[in-house]
Amino acid sequence: MKVLYDIAEFKTDKPVVLTQGTFDGVHFGHRKILTHVVNEAKKIGGESVLLTFYPHPRLVLYPDDNELKLLTTIEEKVELVESLGIDYLVIIPFTKEFSRLRASEFVRDILVEKLMLSKLIIGYDHRFGRNREGGIVEMINFAEVYDFELEEISAQDVSESIVSSTKIRKALLAGEVHLAKEYLGAEYTITGKVEEGMQRGTAIGYPTANVRVNSSYKLIPKNGVYAVWVYIDEIKYAGMLNVGYNPTFEDKKWSIEVHIFDFAKNIYHQEISIAFVSRTRDEQRFDNVAILINQLREDEREIRAVLEV
């Protein structure tokens, strides 16, 4: 898959089958749409293209709306889209200037002139152009004017996609990572760099990697203890993770800390990925460190059983 951050670099002499949208999470509903785009392109010997935007439009249009949490960073989205066989991922930098493009200008200048589309696949409720002025009716007219084929995704498929995104966020915020996996078609994953912490875990026999997630807009599951897989240099390790404030200790700084089973390497400042398998309990405050250690031993036994390691 070719990833283009500059639309001027897009060049092909084959017919283009394209869809567009934010596709946050690239979940089961999205995959259904993207797989259809790939198959339609193959039928006509063409190229399959996903047009998306970065940053997320809401971050640009409503910068004070700090409630937005995304299921995927742009890097994660690239990996997920590539796994589906899309030929081109075109990422347009979303700016306020870009948001002011009229619907007619967007279709003429972007879709037709720069991406040279032969077929566009979009949902019945898709909106585009300045102030979301364009819709399926306008796109039908543009398809006639510029001579490209238009396929409308059914209301059922679109609603499944929307509901899935909402359900995934609700599941993660409730700590139901197993349910999120059903909607995503894969375990929910976060990526970040390992930072130096207070070394308390090492002192009690459970050293942890303190992970700083790369994006402040990445959704983190509900506080608690989780069974996880940890990916370091493409090698998979089992581990147990705590999200929260470490209430047993006095300082209550929120953190993401993972103890990797049977692992002793120095990974400070290294990027790692963590896949959530299941949530085993709420975060708790213990009266003393000895009780905490006993609980950590019980957590380890339970999580090793969950992960079958």
Q: Are 245 and 161 part of one and the same domain? A: no
> Model pTM?
0.88
* Per-residue pLDDT at 66: 66
End-of-domain residue from the set 109, 139, 170: 170
Alpha-carbon span 67 to 124, nearest angstrom = 27
Consecutive H or E run containing 275: strand 271-281
Q: Are 191 and 136 part of one and the same domain? A: no
Alpha-carbon span 167 to 31, nearest angstrom = 16
Please, are residues 239 and 259 in contact by the beta-carbon 8 Å criterion? yes
Alpha-carbon span 107 to 295, nearest angstrom = 59
- Token pair 């993207």 is found at 34
- In sequence order, the β-bridge partners of residue 47 are 16
Provide the residue type at 37 as one letter: V
Q: Are 146 and 201 part of one and the same domain? A: no
CATH number, domain with residue 112: 3.40.50.620
Q: How confident is the chain (309 residues) per 10-residue block, as mean pLDDT?
A: 97 97 90 95 98 93 83 94 97 95 97 98 89 93 97 79 85 97 94 84 84 93 98 96 84 88 93 97 90 95 96
The parent domain of residue 87 ranges over: 2-170
In terms of Cβ atoms closer than 10 Å to its own Cβ (0-12, 13-18, 19+), residue 62 is exposed
Q: Are 126 and 269 part of one and the same domain? A: no
Count of structural domains, the chain: 2
Q: Are 275 and 126 part of one and the same domain? A: no
CATH number, domain with residue 302: 2.40.30.30
- 122 is a domain residue: yes
Q: How close are the terminal C-alpha atoms of the chain, in Å?
A: 35
Alpha helices in the chain (DSSP H): 28-43, 57-61, 74-82, 96-99, 103-105, 136-146, 155-173, 177-184, 200-203, 289-307
Q: Are 147 and 17 part of one and the same domain? A: yes
End-of-domain residue from the set 144, 170, 196: 170
Alpha-carbon span 69 to 172, nearest angstrom = 11
Is the previous residue joined to 15 through a cis bond, with omega within 30 degrees of 0?
no
The pair of three-digit structure tokens given for residue 133, joined into one six-digit string? 């002025």
* Per-residue pLDDT at 216: 87
> Which SS3 state, helix, strand or coil, does residue 241 take?
strand
